Amino acid sequence: MAVTVESLPASTRSVTGKPGDDHALASVFKAYTISATFWLVFGTAVGLLLAFKFGAPDFWAEKYLTFGRLRPIHTNSVFYGWASLALVGCAYYVTVRSCGTRLYSVMLAKVGLWLFNIACAAGTIALDLGYNWGDLEYREWPWPIRLVFFVALAITAWNLLATIARRESKDIYLSNWYIVGGVLWTLVICLVAILPWYQKGLGQVAISGYFMHNAVGMWFTPLALGLFYYAIPKVLNRPIYSYALGVLAFWTNLLFYPMLGGHHFLFSPLPWWIQTTAIIASVGMLVPVFGGGANYLLTMRGRYHGRIESYPLAFLFVGVLCYIFGSAQGTVEALRDMQAVWHFTDFTVGHSHFTMYGFVTFAAWGGIYALLPLATGKRPGQFGMALHFWLATTGVAIYVISLSIGGTMQGLDWIHAKPFIQSVVDMKPYYLWRGVGGILMFLSHLVFVWNVWRMTAGKSGDAPSPVMEPEEAAV
Amino acid sequence: MKKAMWTIFGGALLLYIVIVMVIAVGPAIDLAQTPPGPGVVPLTPLQEEGRQVFASNGCDYCHTLQVRPLPEDVPFGRPSAPGDFAYATPEMLGSERTGPDLTNVGNRRGEIWQYMHLYDPRAVSPDSIMPNFKFLFREVKAVPEGETAVSIPAAFAPKNGDKVIATQKAKALVAFLMSLKQAPIPGYKMNGGMGGPATAAAPAASAPAAPAGGYAYDAAKGKALFDSTCAACHQASGEGVPGAFPPLKGNAAVDNADPTLHLHTILHGAHGVTIGGVAYAGVMPEFGSQLSDDDIANIANYERSSWGNHAKPVTPSEVAKIRAAGK
């Protein structure tokens, strides 16, 4: 295989070499990671409480702790607090390093972080007080708060583009396509979600379908994939398998993903053509998913042993697998015959954790474990990373499997015209197992806090360098 | 150097905006103009306030407000039509059914049931996992002038003997829930399914052939229909809820050789009854427009033959006769 210059992250070639710049970048990366970690622990603590309420509905049923107010607090905290901040922190590091330059503005990055945090905190408080914008999923925050998030995003876009503009090389490394693409598209998404002219009746339904899946697929997905394109070759110390395949995945993702939001409203009164287009686009998504997924796996080929020795790589590997299988599952779910069984059931909740947790969250963890030690010079402990990895992996497996089985039973109960309450009764054991998975996942987040502490403020641990030996040396 | 950057990012942004206009914004502008369907009216101020309470407390995360043209959605009403949502802003179609769909709940449950169920769902639905909404109620020593105490079964009522009264928020919420009634669209049936949206041009359902040798009561169907339609108030045990919903077990109208009152009540509903000197405040919705003669016969026969009742079975033609006689 011909190794083009483009297929190597530029940081393996050059850095600015000024310690002041490195220190500034590390401080930005650290600040984003610490904020994100706070929102992860907060958001999943709320999630765990919600899981418990399925078995004990009268537990903490007071006004400010009622299920329906905490549920959007959970989803918005992990979306906008955890995953967004973790991925933006990584994105700053990846963009600066892959452009072989220094960050355009540390100040802008920090202002952006403040605004992101203010939006998340204000959004959480507003939802708990009962101020939401209808129960419009993932855009429940009142619009002025979402405007703050929009401004933070715009500042991030400006900072990243200005950084890329001052790069030394002619080419723009693929990671930056995904990262900047994701930020720019999300500016459009946020704007479309706020503009008032068509937010009425069925018009708002059309926007809900669009927003729900674009906020996932044109924000978290490109940021996580951009991170993969940098972190996987970096850790393995070898170039990406195929640059061209990455470019193909980029453009096909852009073509198909925006159109599939309607599959959240199959069999609804939305026009049938929107629903059918969404199904076709969902099938079309197999091209970027298998293309991109194969690219990552082929980059890892032959280094299977490394996946066990290197936990950063193990996290990235699970992230890639969940990207491929979680997305393929999404395609199958979008087919009308399958949707007739799974729609409205807990299977969907299993799917969203398979992807948002198994894919996006594992990608963020892999990126942080791979890159944060390079930025700060401090490493976590090997035991800490191992504990985190196995608790999280086991937890999410139990979570997804129990809700997938339970959700299927729920759907079949309805098809067999059983009284509705039967589907509630039949879900009880699966809700219990979901809680067990959730406990393991939450414990892993506490371990992650410890690991982040060691990579930032605390005492450096005993983990080996996240960058593996080059193959010649490893043989 | 700059050129590559603007080609990639500018192109990706432009292409995205074009797709979003075609797939989301354009259709949304058009769909926002959808005129209201027949009989679809705006909410009253009280119902509107109730919709706010519904949204604030995230009811929509467990209850959908859309009926699909699929057989499994039949219990929730006719398929939702575009015109149903003309006044439904913010939209609350929902994405999960941890609890049942509420599109047509105003036609299935009465106000008293709603209050009781909000105060403690387990009081009327023992297996429910819905949280209680006691924070929408006040517990008082004496019921103030102009207020009515919510009837709660003794086992679920405050232990200190306090009375339960609804706050303004609870009243608004129940007003909203009671407003959730589908306006009928003649001929609008479940014929959409996999093939297309529900249409008004429904082929006339072929009348079921009368089984040879006369009518046979389908006990399994009768029980299933009873459990999903009637048990919420009258309870699976047939014992009802004291003070609110009368028992069917040993009920003089049910366990009676003459089925007229029994069938009339199912077809046309009832407004507060007194049985054996005990007053039951619950309002029973009419089921004549929601259930076929066949279904009503199955339900009635299940009730007439369960919990020790031994009344003569009824046939769908008897139901049809009483239906034809009108109120």
**Residue position matching structure tokens 């066949």:** B294
| Selected residue of A127, A138, A208, A267 to mutate for chain B interface (largest B Cβ count, 10 A) | A267
In this complex, the residue of B89, B132, B192 whose CB is nearest that of residue A201 is B89
| Selected residue of B40, B70, B72, B295 to mutate for chain A interface (largest A Cβ count, 10 A) | B72
Please tell me what DSSP assigns to residue A344: B
Contact B25 A192 (CB under 8 A): yes
Contact B134 A61 (CB under 8 A): yes
Give the chain A residue whose CA is nearest to the CA of B19: A258
**Can you read off the two tokens belonging to residue A17?**
């070499």
Please tell me what DSSP assigns to residue A59: T
Distance CA(A250)–CA(A226), nearest Å, equals 10
On whether residue A34 sits in a domain, the answer given is yes
Which of A389, A366, A364, A236 has the alpha carbon at shortest distance from A301?
A236
pLDDT at B151: 84
Contact A134 B197 (CB under 8 A): no
Contact B89 A417 (CB under 8 A): no
Q: Name residues whose C-beta falls within 8 Å of residue B179's C-beta, 6 or more positions apart in sequence.
A: B43, B44, B47, B50, B106
A231 shares a domain with A141: no
> Residues A190-242: pLDDT tens digits?
999 999 999 999 999 999 999 999 999 999 999 999 999 999 999 999 999 99
Q: Name residues whose C-beta falls within 8 Å of residue B69's C-beta, 6 or more positions apart in sequence.
A: A267, B79, B190, B191, B192, B193, B197, B198
Going through A135-224 in order, the beta strands assigned E by DSSP cover none
On whether residue A75 sits in a domain, the answer given is yes
Q: Which residues 418-447 in chain A show a CB within 8 A of chain B?
A: 418-421, 424-425
pLDDT at A1: 34
Percentage of chain A with pLDDT > 70?
95
A36 shares a domain with A165: yes
A83 shares a domain with A42: yes
Contact A57 B131 (CB under 8 A): yes
Residues of A in contact with B75 (CB under 8 A): 417, 420
Distance CA(A136)–CA(B93), nearest Å, equals 9
Which of A82, A91, A180, A72 has the alpha carbon at shortest distance from A129?
A72
A215 shares a domain with A352: no
Which of A356, A121, A349, A40 has the alpha carbon at shortest distance from A219?
A356
Contact A67 B131 (CB under 8 A): yes
Domains, chain B, ordered by start: 45-179 (1.10.760.10), 219-325 (1.10.760.10)
H or E segment at B281? Answer: strand B278-284
3-class state of residue A294 by DSSP? helix
In this complex, the residue of B1, B58, B64 whose CB is nearest that of residue A72 is B58
Calculate mean pLDDT across residues A126-151: 95
Residue B278's CB is within 10 A of a number of other CB atoms, namely: 11
DSSP string, B136-175: GEEEESSPPTT--PPP--GGGS-TT--EEEE-HHHHHHHH
A441 shares a domain with A411: yes
A94 shares a domain with A42: yes
pLDDT category at A9 given cuts 50, 70, 90 is low
Assign 3-class secondary structure to A208-227.
HHHHHHHHHHHHHHHHHHHH
Q: Does A393 touch chain B (CB under 8 A)?
A: no
On whether residue A316 sits in a domain, the answer given is no
Going through A17-131 in order, the beta strands assigned E by DSSP cover none
3-class state of residue A313 by DSSP? helix
pLDDT at A134: 85
Contact A274 B27 (CB under 8 A): yes
Which of A315, A201, A35 has the alpha carbon at shortest distance from B28?
A201
Going through A99-177 in order, the beta strands assigned E by DSSP cover none
Q: Helix %, strand %, coil % for chain A, to 5?
A: 80, 0, 20
pLDDT at A391: 98
Contact A261 B24 (CB under 8 A): yes
Contact B55 A134 (CB under 8 A): yes
pLDDT at A437: 98
**Can you read off the two tokens belonging to residue A117?**
């945090």
Give the chain B residue whose CA is nearest to the CA of A133: B90
**Can you read off the two tokens belonging to residue B311?**
């009344």
Q: By CB neighbour count within 10 A (0-12 exposed, 13-18 middle, 19+ buried), where does B154 fall?
A: exposed
Contact B89 A255 (CB under 8 A): no
Q: Measure in Å the smallest separation between the Cα of B228 and chain A Cα atoms.
A: 5
Calculate mean pLDDT across residues A175-190: 97
pLDDT at B296: 92
On whether residue A311 sits in a domain, the answer given is no
Which of B145, B133, B73, B143 has the alpha carbon at shortest distance from B102?
B73
Identify the segments of chain B with pLDDT beneath 50. 1, 191, 201-212
Parallel/antiparallel/unpaired status of strands B137-140 and B163-166: antiparallel
Distance CA(B67)–CA(B192), nearest Å, equals 12
In this complex, the residue of B32, B72, B127 whose CB is nearest that of residue A421 is B127
Going through A263-309 in order, the beta strands assigned E by DSSP cover none
Q: Measure in Å the smallest separation between the Cα of A198 and chain B Cα atoms.
A: 5
Q: Measure in Å the smallest separation between the Cα of A313 and chain B Cα atoms.
A: 30
Q: Does A249 touch chain B (CB under 8 A)?
A: no
Distance CA(A185)–CA(A201), nearest Å, equals 25
H or E segment at B267? Answer: helix B260-268
A31 shares a domain with A158: yes
Q: Name residues whose C-beta falls within 8 Å of residue B190's C-beta, 6 or more positions apart in sequence.
A: B69, B70, B71, B73, B74, B78, B79, B198
Query: Helices A106-128 and A143-165: crossing angle, nearest 10°?
Result: 160
Q: Does A383 touch chain B (CB under 8 A)?
A: no
On whether residue A332 sits in a domain, the answer given is no
Give the chain A residue whose CA is nearest to the CA of B11: A181
> Residues A76-121: pLDDT tens digits?
999 999 999 999 999 999 999 999 999 999 999 999 999 999 999 9
Parallel/antiparallel/unpaired status of strands B270-275 and B278-284: antiparallel
pLDDT at A446: 98
> Residues B243-256: pLDDT tens digits?
788 899 988 889 88
On whether residue A52 sits in a domain, the answer given is yes
pLDDT at B197: 58
Distance CA(A130)–CA(B53), nearest Å, equals 8
* Structural domain boundaries, residue A121: 20-172
Distance CA(A336)–CA(A65), nearest Å, equals 37
**Residue position matching structure tokens 């990639």:** B8
Distance CA(B298)–CA(B204), nearest Å, equals 23
Is residue A310 within 8 A of residue B70, CB to CB? The reply is: no
Q: What is the mean pLDDT of chain A?
A: 93
Beta bridge partners of B279: B274
Q: Indicate the number of domains in chain A.
A: 3
Q: Is the pLDDT of residue A279 over 70?
A: yes
Is residue A367 within 8 A of residue A227, CB to CB? The reply is: yes
* Side chain identity, residue B210: A
Contact B57 A203 (CB under 8 A): no
A250 shares a domain with A141: no
Q: Is the pLDDT of residue A365 over 50?
A: yes
A276 shares a domain with A348: no
Distance CA(A61)–CA(A63), nearest Å, equals 7
Q: Does A138 touch chain B (CB under 8 A)?
A: no
CATH number for position A44: 1.20.120
Is residue B145 within 8 A of residue B116, CB to CB? The reply is: no
* Side chain identity, residue A429: P
Residues of A in contact with B156 (CB under 8 A): none
Please tell me what DSSP assigns to residue A83: I
Q: Does A134 touch chain B (CB under 8 A)?
A: yes
Q: Among the three residues A149, A172, A195, which one is the final residue of a domain in this structure?
A: A172
Q: Which residues 307-336 in chain A show a CB within 8 A of chain B?
A: 336
Q: Does A268 touch chain B (CB under 8 A)?
A: yes
- Per-residue b or e along B129-152, where b marks 16 or more CB atoms closer than 10 Å to that residue's CB: bbbbbbbbbbeeeeeeeeeeebbb
On whether residue A307 sits in a domain, the answer given is no
Q: Does A258 touch chain B (CB under 8 A)?
A: yes
A157 shares a domain with A35: yes
A155 shares a domain with A54: yes
- CA dist B308 → A386, B129, B204 (Å): 63, 30, 40
- ipTM over 0.90 threshold: yes
Residues of B in contact with A254 (CB under 8 A): 12, 15-16, 19
In this complex, the residue of B23, B70, B224 whose CB is nearest that of residue A259 is B23
Contact A419 B125 (CB under 8 A): no
A167 shares a domain with A245: no
Beta bridge partners of B138: B165
Residues of A in contact with B86 (CB under 8 A): 201
pLDDT at B195: 53
Q: By CB neighbour count within 10 A (0-12 exposed, 13-18 middle, 19+ buried), where does B161 fall?
A: exposed
pLDDT at B244: 83
Give the chain A residue whose CA is nearest to the CA of B80: A269
**Can you read off the two tokens belonging to residue A281?**
């686009």
Give the chain A residue whose CA is nearest to the CA of B227: A419
Q: Among the three residues A141, A172, A203, which one is the final residue of a domain in this structure?
A: A172
In this complex, the residue of A172, A250, A420 whose CB is nearest that of residue B4 is A172
- CA dist A282 → A219, A256, A319, B278 (Å): 17, 7, 20, 60
Give the chain B residue whose CA is nearest to the CA of A274: B23
